[in-house]
Amino acid sequence: MRNIIIAFFAALLLVSCGKKDAYNTVDDMVTNAMKTVKLITPEELNTLMNGGGEEVYTLIDVRQEIEHYYGFIPGSVNIARGSLEFNIGDETWWEHVGLYMPQKEEKIILYCKKGQRGILAAETLSKLGYTNVYALEGGWKKWELTYPDVFEKDLSKLGGNSSAPASSGGC
């Protein structure tokens, strides 16, 4: 009987210490994040940008810096997904870019190339206690197709390099 009890607790320990939220692919991870992440369409964002409400919002491009400067949504600030968690709550970082640091309850809209990094970044900010976070549905590509004339670029930030940006995984 003693061996049965020991075996039971050993099995329980193995099961409870197993990996949680283990995914086979990034698509599985994004699908899981979609259960909690709110989306905003390009049309809704455009309305918001053009005074369709007086709500304060922060628009963050989570692509790599080189991707951002080849074309970005006006008014967005670039914080690559890899440093988002470190910079979002760093008042010094926000002062450096000339903006106010968003408060935890303010609307934050995130976008990337096609939407997946934006969704994962939105999930991350929610886990950090931000309560009004959205990912742009379809990302930069859907914005660019919907509003082909509403974008900015700043190739001067690339140090004179005007070659095509390197691939960042395509998402």
Dump pLDDT digits (tens) for 93-123: 999 999 999 999 999 999 999 999 999 999 9
How do the domains of the chain map onto residue ranges?
21-158
Mean predicted confidence (pLDDT) in 24-31: 84
Q: Which CATH number among 3.40.250.10, 3.40.50.1370, 3.30.465.10, 3.30.70.2740 corresponds to the domain 21-158?
A: 3.40.250.10
Give the C-alpha separation, 38 to 60, whole Å.
15
**Tens of pLDDT, residues 134-147:** 999 999 999 999 99
| pTM over the 0.95 mark | no
Q: Which helix (H) or strand (E) holds 67?
A: helix 65-69
